[in-house]
Amino acid sequence: MSEMDAVRLNFNPQSLWALNAIIGLVMFGVALELKPRDFEGVLVTPKPVLIGLAAQFLLLPACTFLLVLLIRPAPSIALGMMLVAACPGGNVSNFLTHYARGNTALSVTMTAISTAVAIVMTPLNLALWAGLYEPTAAILRAVSLDPLDMLLAVALLLGLPMAAGMAIGHRFPRLVARVHRPVRAASLLIFGLFVVGALAANWRHFLDWVGFVVFAVFLHNATALASGWAAARVAGLPERDRRAVAIEVGIQNSALGLILVFNFFGGLGGMAIVTAWWGIWHLIAGLSVATWWSRRDPGGVAA
């Protein structure tokens, strides 16, 4: 065990309750904009959605496992990488896809479906891939992780707020049309401030390991973006769809990951720092890639 694997970040029960409430608020704000038709895309044009979901829940976790074997990080960092890879797409992927001149409708459909599918796939992928790597499998055994317990937690964290948001959006469309943007912006801002506060409270640990964590997250996020784009290209999807899939796979719901770290792993240092830094870095990387794509038409010719 490395020194990093022994670190537990400072986090009291009140903060954990607050974090659970914040992620619920974030999902509620996102779900206010979702409509049943957002889930119908898989029936209308199934190929792009299925390719995207395969890249999200099959290809990315497998590539993450290979990356872990290549760079051999501390077990807690490796487990954090596997956890991030098991999470669904993040909440800003739709905006970034639109900015990148990608297929925004595909991005919205993928976000909605991946969030629903994550209720099962997030616990399953984490248990599968972490169980195949002995250093991370040892952590799972030490915390006695029960995938069914995690499935229930993810269902409560994602499923209930999502159902409530969609129900209110359907019942009060005029009200939601006025408030959904402020609610979503406020919830994301609150979560961002919470992450910054968590890093500040554990700044010494972050500084001790920032070099390797930044390196690992950079490689991991680049792998996610590249694998999403490559999967779409190999499948013969048009460039607008490739951009949507790449961003959807490269922007992960690190907020969910951070909650699972504290709910199931006691704030394990390597996992928490990787997940928190991913939440910052994927915005920087995603915005950079989207800006580059925004200057090129979907056929790849400079605009």
Q: Cα dihedral angle (11, 12, 13, 16), rounded to 10 degrees?
A: -30
* Residue 56 Cα to chain centre, angstroms: 10
Q: Residue 283 class from Cβ within 10 Å (0-12 exposed, 13-18 middle, 19+ buried)?
A: middle
CB 145 within 8 A of CB 152: no
Query: Tell me, what DSSP letter sits at residue 3?
Result: G
pLDDT of residue 198: 63
259-262 contacts, C-beta under 8 A, 24 or more apart: 259/19, 259/20, 259/23, 259/157, 260/83, 260/122, 260/150, 260/153, 260/154, 261/80, 261/83, 262/11, 262/16, 262/19
- Residues 243/237, Cβ–Cβ less than 8 Å: no
How many C-beta atoms lie closer than 10 Å to residue 265's C-beta? 22
Residue in the structure block whose two tokens are 């020194």: 3
Supply the pTM of this predicted model. Answer: 0.81
Q: Any alpha helices (H) in the chain, and if so which ranges? A: 13-31, 41-44, 46-54, 60-71, 75-86, 93-99, 104-132, 134-143, 147-154, 160-171, 173-201, 203-234, 239-250, 254-264, 269-294
The whole-angstrom separation of Cα 190 and Cα 170 is: 25
* CATH pick for 3-294 out of 2.60.40.10, 3.30.560.10, 1.20.1530.20, 3.40.50.150: 1.20.1530.20
Query: What average pLDDT values come out for the chain (303 residues) when binned by 10 residues?
Result: 50 61 73 70 81 96 97 92 91 83 86 86 93 92 78 78 81 77 71 67 64 89 96 94 95 85 79 84 90 83 44
Per-residue confidence (pLDDT) for residue 302, from 0 to 100: 45
Question: DSSP secondary-structure letter at 89?
Answer: B
HSE-up of residue 84 (Cα within 13 Å, Cβ side): 34
234 vs 273: CA distance, rounded Å: 34
Instruction: Please give the Cα distance from 216 to 68 (Å, whole number).
Output: 9
